[in-house]
Chains A and B, each alone.
Chain A
C-alpha cells in the first residue's frame, strides 16, 4: 500500500479489498449458542455486560447454525450429542470456526478415565481452530480465544491465494443419521462423499476471482 498512502485527503482511507473483508469478518463473528454444560455459564458471563464480548463484535449469539460463523463448544460432549455437534457444524455456512471451550472439549477433562459416555475431545468430531483450556475457563480466557480466532481471520487470503484455512475434518460423525447424499454404508465412501460435498460448498461460497 506504500505509495498510495497519504496521497488523498484526510478523511479517505485506502485498503485492500481482502483486508476490508477480513476486517468485516473478524469484527462481526457471530457465535452460535452452544452451551452443553457448566462452561455455558461462563460463556453467558462472557456475553453479559461485565466482560462484554460485544466489544469484539461477537455478541450476537444466534440460535441457528445458518446464521453463525463461530461455534463455541462450551461443555462436555457425550457420544449421544456428538452426532448433533457434527450435524450443526455441517449446517454452518463457510467460513466457519470452532472454539473448544473447557477441559472436556479439549480432551475429555475430568471424564477422561471414567467417563464411559464422554467424547475424549470434540476434535474427534469437528475440526477445532482454538482450544481454550480451563475448568471452566475464565471469561477472559474465552475472550483471548476469540482474539486468536480473529487473528486467524485476519490472516485469511481467500481472495488472492484461493481457499482459506484448511483444517482436516474428522472422518467420524459419531452416528449414522446423515442425509442420504452424505451417508454410505461403506465408511470410506461416506467420507469421500462428505469431503466432495464440503469442497463443492466451498467452491460455491468462494468469491469469483477477478
Chain B
C-alpha cells in the first residue's frame, strides 16, 4: 500500500482520532493523541493489510527556541514530539506516527510529560523508550524498567532538551 492508502484506511477506521497527517513529507506521518496511541499502533500491527511488524526507531524531538529574540519567528509553539518509525516487511511499506506533548506536564516545570508505552506491542520499544526518557525526558507510562540507559544513573536533567543547563561538576569533577 502507498502512504496515502494507509492513511485513508486509518482515517476511515479511526476518524477524528487521527489529528493531522502529512503526505508531502519525505516520510509521510500521522499525528495521534497520547491516549489513542496504543490503539492506533495495535491496529497498524494486527490488521493483515497493514501488518507493521517492525518498530524501527523511537525518537524524541524538543521544539523550543531558547533565544527569546528568535522565538517569535521560530514558526512553532514550544512542545515535544515523540516519533515512531514503523515498517512492514510483509508489504514493504512504512509509516511514521507522531505524538505531540507539552514540554512539561500541566505546564509545571520539572514535571515530565507522559505517553503510554509500546513495550506490550514491540519488544524493541523497551530500550528506545529508555533512551528517549534518558535524553529528552518523556515518561512512558507502563514501561517495565524505565531507568537511564546511557547516562549515569544519578545524572540530573535530560541533556537533549534545548533549555538543559550543563552540570558545573559531577562528583567533584569540573564539568565546564
Contact = CB atoms under 8 A, between A and B. Distances in A.
A68 interface: no
Tell me the dominant secondary structure on chain B's binding face.
Answer: loop
Interface in A136-192: 171-176, 187
Contacts, number: 40
A79 B175 CA distance: 9
A116 B174 contact: no
B167 A116 contact: yes
B96 to A, nearest CB: 28
B26 interface: no
Nearest to A113: B176
Contacts of B170: 79, 82, 174
B9 interface: no
A117 B151 contact: yes
A171 B170 CA distance: 13
Contact of B171 (A116, A117, A175): A175
B173 A79 contact: yes
Contacts of A113: 176
Contacts of A79: 152, 170-171, 173, 175
A120 B171 contact: no
Given A79-B152, A80-B151, A116-B159, A171 B164 contact: no
Interface in B129-170: 151-152, 159, 164, 166-167, 170
Given A79-B152, A80-B151, A80-B152, A116 B166 contact: yes
Interface string A54-86: 000000000000000000000000011011000
Contacts of A171: 172
A124 interface: yes
B173 A119 contact: yes
Tell me the dominant secondary structure on chain A's binding face.
Answer: loop
For chain B, give the interface size range: 10 to 19
B166 to A, nearest CB: 5
Interface residues of A, number: 18
Contacts of B171: 79, 82-83, 172-176
A176 B159 CA distance: 23
Contacts of A175: 152, 171
Given A79-B152, A80-B152, A116-B159, A172 B173 contact: yes
Contact of B172 (A116, A117, A120, A173): A173
Contacts of B175: 79, 116, 120
A125 interface: yes
A125 B174 CA distance: 10
Contact of B176 (A80, A82, A120, A187): A120
A116 B152 CA distance: 12
Contacts of B151: 80, 117
Interface string B71-103: 000000000000000000000000000000000
Contact of B173 (A116, A125, A176): A125
Nearest to B165: A116
Given A116-B159, A117-B151, A82 B173 contact: yes
Contact of A124 (B152, B159, B164, B174): B174
14 contacts: A79-B171, A80-B151, A82-B170, A82-B171, A116-B164, A116-B166, A116-B175, A119-B173, A120-B176, A172-B172, A173-B171, A174-B170, A174-B173, A176-B171
Given A79-B171, A174-B171, 14 more contacts: A79-B152, A79-B175, A80-B152, A82-B170, A82-B171, A113-B176, A119-B173, A124-B174, A125-B173, A171-B172, A172-B171, A172-B173, A174-B172, A176-B171
